[in-house]
Amino acid sequence: MPPVMIHLVSACSKTGKTTILEKVLPELKKYGLRVAALKGHLQHYDIDIPGKDSWRFARAGADISGLTTPEGYFLFGYDRGKSGNEAAAELLRDIDLIIIEGNKKSDDPKIELVRRDLNPEPMLLTNTVAVITDRKDLNLSIPVIDINDYTTLADFIYNHFFKANKKDIAGNDRFDSTSTGCDEELTHFDKSGRPKMVDVSGKEQTSREAYARGEITMASRTLALIMKGGISKGDVLSVAQVAAVMAVKDTGRLIPMAHPLGVSGVEVDFEPVEEEPAKIEIGVRVKLTGQTGVEMEALTGVSAAALTIYDMCKAVDKNMTINNIHLIEKKGGRSGHYRREQH
């Protein structure tokens, strides 16, 4: 999926666009987004000065030219068939979001900066999706965000472009993560259609958490035996709890495309239900500070606990049934907070 491209624009210069972009970037990174920030629509830039080495390399046919330093790099290039924005978006296709400072003529979505003492009236150019301002009396049909509220600005960008159930600017369908739990394309296949493990090395280490539940139904007599310690193989729930923890830690080995993770915490809970049909409800919560989520770990833990209960009790009840294993909640990562709707 191509990156989302937004332009931060204003009617005049020296309004503070660079400062706003500088302040909102850390807030956007909290969502796990990979963000590129570009200065847009310049006529020339220092590394493109005629006669300089980088200019000569580009003119000689290099697809990308630039400079490197001990701490970073600067790249530029030419694509005569595309605008600079289009060429940059293609080069940065692994980025989630490109914010370009400037270029009012672009057809891409725009966020306009309005300053009371410099440009008090908004331009509201084509495809303007929000206005940032220090005016307290500005009422518009689109969101108006306080100039110093960088958290709200980041929330708006994330919710408008990455979480809403609508088409993105490239015309691709996005899923609504609040209703489906999914807001990105399937990524476990390479360009040849073969399965792969997703590369998460570029993601930041963030706090992740997932909670999953499931149940195993059984005869009332079986549940009674479990609760009074009458199963010959031992304390069923204690063994099932250990099985859940072990399965969580082994998920990267059991599920082919799951990553081996250094899980920081596992909590397992059991809730016996004596009404017919009798059952034990199982919950597993997994926590981690890392680069990928722990949904699979929580689901695997529930599954292992249920299977262990079946194994220890099958001698007295082969009709037990494992049901309804599902994710209840996840926190952290690019898709943010997901909570399953209870019906």
Element (H, E) at 223: helix 220-227
Neighbours of 17 (CB within 10 A): 20
Written as six digits, the tokens of 165 are 């159930």
Whether the ω angle into residue 277 lies within 30 degrees of 0, i.e. cis, is yes
- Residue 311 a catalytic site member: yes
Tokens of residue 45, six digits: 């830039």
Instruction: Out of 168, 269, 311, 317, pick the active-site residue.
Output: 311
- Cα–Cα distance list, 281 to 217, 270, 271, 275, 305 (Å): 9, 6, 5, 12, 10
Query: What tokens does 208 get?
Result: 């992740």
Could you tell me how far CA 19 lies from the centroid of its own chain? Answer: 25
Residue 260, C-beta contacts closer than 8 angstroms, at least 6 positions apart = 252, 253
Q: Which of 293, 284, 263 is nearest to 200 (CA)?
A: 293
> Which residue numbers are catalytic?
311
